[in-house]
Structure 1
Amino acid sequence: MANLWHSVRGVQIRYLGEKRFLFQFYYVMDMDRVLKGSPWTINNHLLVLHKLQWGEDPLKVPLILTPFWVQIHDVPIGLFSKNLAVQLGNFIGKFIEYDGSNLGKENRNYIRIRFQIDVRRPLKRKKQIMLCGNCTYVRFKYERLLLFCFYCGCLGHNDSFCEAKMALGVEINEMGWDLSL
């Protein structure tokens, strides 16, 4: 990770046990750049980062929240707005920021937002919205999505190792999620 992050003065990495590591940066700008670049992965596994506050025990911090970028597709013309982006971001997780920089350029017909997701919960696929009394759906496409279960919709494992699927004890042909995410 240290080679990938290219920090100016380096980073000290210490293994704490229980699958936890402490990353100590020597410049705040290096740490901020790494946090802003999340999500990061190691061997296809999500690296959940948390900026420690003074007095926090790194072994007791719940590592359950991570930021993601998502593209929101099939938004009706005229509804592209930061207000809608905030509402949808809070539906998926917790809204962080709206990327309106390339809106309308290069045939980009989606809203792009960054939000914080709880990795224990299934990913949202779509959301029904009302427009002039008519119902329509917007679809979510997650950027840099890696190890993911098509059966239960959760991050961190695939359908071959899904506890929910194994609990049924039968082979399931129908998956709840697909590659459109």
Structure 2
Amino acid sequence: MEDLEHMCSEGPWSMDGAFLFLERWRPNLVMNRLHLNFVSIWVQLHGLPLEYQYPELAERMGHMIGAFEKIDWEDRLPQNIRFIRVKVRLNPWMPVVSGFMLRLDDGTRTWIQCRYEKVHKLCTKCSPIRHTRSQCSESMDEVKRILIRQRHWIQRLH
């Protein structure tokens, strides 16, 4: 039973380009009432200067992407310096954050790119993780409304 608990908590997995999520069985669970409202995904944060690679900043950036859950961080050498990984909970029906500008101590800004692990279906038009651009049926007006709603959500948080 402990192995199943570990499997359920360490996902998601990708099979043939599709997500596989496990959820613990609950008594009286009706399958057509089961909705995927949030997913936990590892996100790589690329573009950080070395002196900005520390857990507290990574946690703050994780909160900008979604609900921060944890960081993949080891305070020993050798250490991965190409990117920092954070695990966040996202609403799969909303656009994902592709990146953001980080103001450095010298006043300049640098682009921090978010790369979502095991996400093979990411629409470059409307940005949810459920389909690709060639499968997208959203109008540009609807995409604008979704992005405005997403921006307001992020602004309320920060």
TM-score past 0.5 threshold? yes
TM superposition shift of 1:147: 1.9
State the AA in 1 paired with 2:114. Answer: F
Counterpart in 2 of 1:108? Answer: 81
Distance between the aligned counterparts of 2:14 and 2:110, measured in 1?
Answer: 34
Q: Is the 8 A contact 2:14 2:118 kept in 1?
A: no
Aligned residues: 141
Distance between the aligned counterparts of 1:103 and 1:153, measured in 2?
Answer: 36
Alignment map for 1:1-181 (pairs within 5 Å): 28-51=1-24, 58-101=31-74, 105=78, 108-132=81-105, 133-164=107-138
Q: Secondary structure in 2 aligned to 1:163?
A: coil
Distance between the aligned counterparts of 2:136 and 2:64, measured in 1?
Answer: 25
Q: Which deviates further from its counterpart, 118-127 or 49-58?
A: 49-58
Q: Which deviates further from its counterpart, 48-57 or 118-127?
A: 48-57
Q: Is the 8 A contact 1:48 1:65 kept in 2?
A: no
TM superposition shift of 1:104: 5.9
TM superposition shift of 1:41: 3.4
State the AA in 1 paired with 2:60. Answer: Q
Distance between the aligned counterparts of 2:22 and 2:65, measured in 1?
Answer: 19
Choose between structure 1 and 2: higher helix proportion.
2
Choose between structure 1 and 2: higher strand proportion.
1
Counterpart in 2 of 1:11? Answer: none
TM-score, with length taken from structure 1? 0.65
Q: Is the 8 A contact 2:50 2:81 kept in 1?
A: no
State the AA in 2 paired with 1:147. Answer: K
Q: Which runs of 5+ in 1 are unaligned?
A: 1-27, 169-181
State the AA in 2 paired with 1:135. Answer: R
- Relative to structure 1, the CA distance from residue 68 to residue 104 in structure 2 (aligned partners, 3 Å threshold; closer, same or farther) is farther
- The sequence identity of aligned pairs, in percent, is 23
Q: Which deviates further from its counterpart, 155-164 or 44-53?
A: 44-53
Q: Is the 8 A contact 1:72 1:139 kept in 2?
A: yes
Counterpart in 2 of 1:23? Answer: none
Larger Cα-atom Rg: 1
TM-score, with length taken from structure 2? 0.73
Q: Which runs of 5+ in 2 are unaligned?
A: 143-158
